[in-house]
Chains A and B, each alone.
Chain A
Amino acid sequence: MVEKAKRLVIVVSEDKFDKAMMSMMMANTAASMGMEVHVFHTFFGLNLLKKGKVPKLGGMMRLFTGVFVGRMKAVGIENYPAQLAMALDLGVNIYACSTTMALMRITKENMVDGVKILGAAGFLDIAADGDISLFIG
């Protein structure tokens, strides 16, 4: 008897480099382990779904983003846009919070292809049956 796949639910509420990378690296690992993954982007997390978005580290650390990107590349970990593309390719469900879209004036056309639009109740319905819930923000 095949066991039902574990469901991982991630909420992303910030758009800095470390949060962005953590969310996609977790999502991609879980998807690679056969888990069903749902990632909900709300507030500043929504910025990460904009086409061509390249997140930076926060505050003063901003200047060191390149150092991190370089170090990660050296061990095979590609930058954020590639991680996001990989996630979509692996079947990770990527959601944009509908209200945040309106507040921040981000349209579906502004975002990468494959993003699904969802509200809080819709998301909580998915999270209610989640086995693992992670908040990255």
Chain B
Amino acid sequence: MQKDETLDCKGLMCPMPIVKLAKKMKEFPVGKVLEMISDDIGSKEDVPAWCKRTNNQLVEMKEDKGVFYYYIKRLV
């Protein structure tokens, strides 16, 4: 999956991954894809919800041994 930058949120628990994601996306270029990594089980629902509410696109999501990889495209 093509990505322009990575935001590593491993070790952070809800709501910190979302707070960090929002802060990062505020300055992130429109049209680019951010890879966000989290080992927080809550992120599984938190990240898609964040994308939905902020009108950004969750292009892809995958999991590997309890670590989640989210590919988020900034649309607005």
- Residues on B with beta carbons closer than 8 Å to the beta carbon of A6: 53
Distance in angstroms from A29 CB to nearest chain B CB is 4
A75 to B21, CA, bound (A): 16
Question: Within 8 Å of chain B (Cβ to Cβ): is A124?
Answer: no
Interface size class on chain B is 10 to 19
* Contact (Cβ within 8 A) B12 A76: yes
* Contact (Cβ within 8 A) B53 A33: yes
* Contact (Cβ within 8 A) B12 A32: no
- Residues on B with beta carbons closer than 8 Å to the beta carbon of A2: 55, 76
* Contact (Cβ within 8 A) A33 B11: no
- Residues on B with beta carbons closer than 8 Å to the beta carbon of A85: none
A6 to B22, CA, bound (A): 16
The B50-70 residues at the A interface (CB cut-off 8 A) are: 50, 53-55
Interface size class on chain A is 10 to 19
A56 to B14, CA, bound (A): 21
Question: Within 8 Å of chain A (Cβ to Cβ): is B1?
Answer: no
Question: Within 8 Å of chain B (Cβ to Cβ): is A118?
Answer: no
Residues of B that sit less than 8 Å from A by CB: 11-16, 18-19, 21-23, 49-50, 53-55, 76
A-B pairs with beta carbons under 8 Å apart, 17 shown? A2-B55, A2-B76, A28-B15, A28-B19, A29-B14, A29-B15, A29-B18, A32-B15, A32-B19, A32-B22, A33-B54, A34-B53, A34-B54, A75-B12, A77-B15, A77-B16, A86-B19
